[in-house]
Amino acid sequence: MTYRLQRFPTPLATSAFAARTLAVVLALLTAGAALALTGSSPLSLAREVVTDTFGSAFALEDLALLVSPLILTGLSVSVALRIGAWNIGAEGQFNAGSLAAAGIGLFVPGPPFVILSLMLAAGIGGGVLWMAAPALARAYAGVSEIITTLLLNFVAGLLVYWLATGPWLAPGGRAIGTTARIVVDIPELWDEVHWGLPAAILLCVTLSALLRFTRWGYEIRVCGSNPQAARYAGMPVRRHLITVMLLSGGIAGVAGMVEVAGTVHHLQGGISNNFGYLGIMVAVLARRSTLGVLASALFMAVLLNSGIILSTRGVDVSVVLAVTGLVLLYTAIGDEIAHYRIVRGAALSARAAEAAPKEYPPNELAE
């Protein structure tokens, strides 16, 4: 009885999960090994990271402040993946949302509740606006959204930088390079942690339910899985594509608004802080599951927090970015390997297995 490896069209759920866990572990081990090579002791660093991350109430607050933008950007990318689009522009939409919200917060007077609502609307609007051109170009001209959303990231980053250090600069704030403090805050839930976190969790749960239990959600899932079959069933594929892409942009915009109104309270260059790009990581780790974004965002937050902690110990914060890349790489490899199963020499039944399309939205750039 000989054994060999055979590739199957879809991986077993357990294999996929095991592959991912292994990917994360291996990435951390690789990072640890690299750190060891540069002279730091990975084990002691790890111990410090764990105690600093979970050790105190302050530490948990820091973690919570990282989790909410990651949930939102992760959700943004995840929702776009459902319809078959890669939202690489969450970073730019985040900035656009912060910018719009800050604009309201800095210059529009009024009672807090009204201002906060306006800021929320502005945040959504900013994100939607930033996604508009890429969404339409994809829907009507088949232009890949990967590059178009990405290019706009740079534009948004520059725009925020310019506003924060130029027209909107705080008086006498040449040195700080940021705007004045925005008067209205998102109310705090507990110490520094604000209502943005439960709101983000709620949004995630709601979206997950919408996708599973509404007609609209069913149509979105079909459109994302096979647009041709969706058309055949009479679904308005193009309309759904645009809607969901804009929704994705809007969610990332909300992330920006929450960050500006809840955590930072100023508009400054770099406010997006790579949350948009890390959101891609979060969505990819969560795979097809919207609810999985929550766990994935928590993991990413821990990773990010570790980076910050390590930077105080002399390890460069860019290492986190590199480790994220490593996790993504190993995950991609693991996902592919999970398709293989060990098979005995003689097969069991006489069915013909046919090749299935790949799990992720298509690699090809043009539709």
Partner 1 sequence: MDLATGLLHTAVLAGGVPALAALGEVLAERVGVINLGVEGLMALGALSAVVAVVATSNPYLGLLAALGVGLALGLVFAFVTVQIRANQVLCGLALTLLGTGLAAALGKPYSGTPVPALFGPVPLPYLSRIPVLGPAFFAQNILVYVIYLVLPVGLHYLLFRTRHGLHLRAVGENPAAADAAGIPVQRLRFCYVAVGAALAAVAGAYLTLCFVPSWSEGVVGGRGWIAVALVIFAGYRPINAVAGALLFGTTTALGFLGQARNWPVAAPVLSMLPYLATLLLLIVPVAASPAMRRRMAAPAALGLAYFRDER
Partner 2 sequence: MTAGTSPLDPSPPAHPLPARLGQPPPAPQVQPPLVQLRGITKTFPGVIACRAVDLEVGRGEIHALLGENGAGKSTLMNILTGIYQPDAGEIHIDGVRRHFAAPKDAMAAGIGMVHQHFKLVASFTVAENIHLGWEHTPARIRARDLAARTRRLADSLGLAVRPDARIDELSTGEQQRVEILRVLARRARVLILDEPTAVLSPSDAQELFKTLKAFVAHGNAVILISHKLDEVLKVADRISVLRGGRRVATEKALDSSASGLARLMVGHDLVSGANLRGAARVNGAGLATHPVAAAHAVPVLELRDIVVIDSTGRTRLDRVSLKLHGGEILGIAGVTGNGQKELSQVVSGMLPVSAGAVMLGGKDFSRRSARDFAAFGLGHIPEDRLQSGLAAALSVIDNSALREYARPPISRKGWYRPAKARVLAQSIAVAAAVSVADFAMPVANLSGGNQQRIVARREMRIATRVLVAAYPSRGLDVGAIETMMRYFVQLRDDGVGVILISEELDELRNIADRIAVMCQGAIMGVLDPATASIADFGLALAGQRHGATAPLEAPAPQRPRD
Among 165, 226, 243, 311, binds partner 2 (CB under 8 A): 226
Task: Select the binding partner of residue 14 from partner 1, partner 2, none (C-beta < 5 to 8 A, by kind).
Answer: none
Name which of residues 250 to 289 contact partner 2 (CB under 8 A).
288
What's the token pair of residue 83? 């319809």
Q: Name the 3-class secondary structure at 318.
A: helix
Question: Own/partner pairs for 144-149, CB < 8 Å, 24+ apart?
Answer: 144/365, 144/366, 145/85, 145/86, 145/87, 145/88, 145/89, 145/245, 146/86, 146/88, 146/365, 147/88, 147/365, 148/89, 149/86, 149/87, 149/88, 149/89, 149/92
279, burial (CB in 10 Å: exposed 0-12, middle 13-18, buried 19+): buried
C-alpha pair distances (Å), 196 with each of 189, 203, 247, 297: 9, 10, 18, 14
Judged by CB under 8 A, does residue 162 bind partner 2?
A: no
Task: Select the binding partner of residue 30 from partner 1, partner 2, none (C-beta < 5 to 8 A, by kind).
Answer: none
Judged by CB under 8 A, does residue 232 bind partner 2?
A: yes
Applying CB under 8 A, the span of 127-135, 243-251, 320-328, 343-351 interacting with partner 2 comes to: 343-351
Looking at the DSSP bridge assignments, the partners of residue 178 are: 268
Q: E strand or H helix at 341, and its extent?
A: strand 340-344
CA-based torsion, 122, 123, 124, 126: positive or negative: positive
C-alpha 132/C-alpha 149 separation (Å) is 10
Among 15, 221, 238, 298, binds partner 2 (CB under 8 A): 221
Looking at the DSSP bridge assignments, the partners of residue 344 are: 3
In the complex, what is the shortest distance from the CB of residue 287 to partner 1, in angstroms, rounded to a whole number? Answer: 12
CB nearer partner 2, residue 162 or residue 213: 213
Which residues have C-beta within 8 Å of that of residue 49, sequence separation ≥ 6?
305, 306, 309, 310
Judged by CB under 8 A, does residue 349 bind partner 2?
A: yes
Binding residues for partner 1 (CB under 8 A): 7, 86, 88, 133, 137, 140-144, 146-148, 150-155, 158-159, 161-162, 165-166, 277, 280, 284, 316, 318-326, 328-329, 331-333, 335-337, 352-355, 358, 360, 362-366
Applying CB under 8 A, the span of 90-98, 160-168, 211-219, 272-280 interacting with partner 2 comes to: 211-219
CB nearer partner 1, residue 155 or residue 302: 155
Farthest CA pair distance, the chain: 80
C-alpha 250/C-alpha 267 separation (Å) is 19
Task: Select the binding partner of residue 348 from partner 1, partner 2, none (C-beta < 5 to 8 A, by kind).
Answer: partner 2
Task: Select the binding partner of residue 8 from partner 1, partner 2, none (C-beta < 5 to 8 A, by kind).
Answer: partner 2
Judged by CB under 8 A, does residue 229 bind partner 2?
A: yes
Among 216, 316, 325, 365, binds partner 2 (CB under 8 A): 216
Q: Which residues bind partner 2 (CB under 8 A)?
A: 6-10, 212-219, 221-222, 225-226, 228-235, 288, 341, 343, 345-354, 356-357, 359
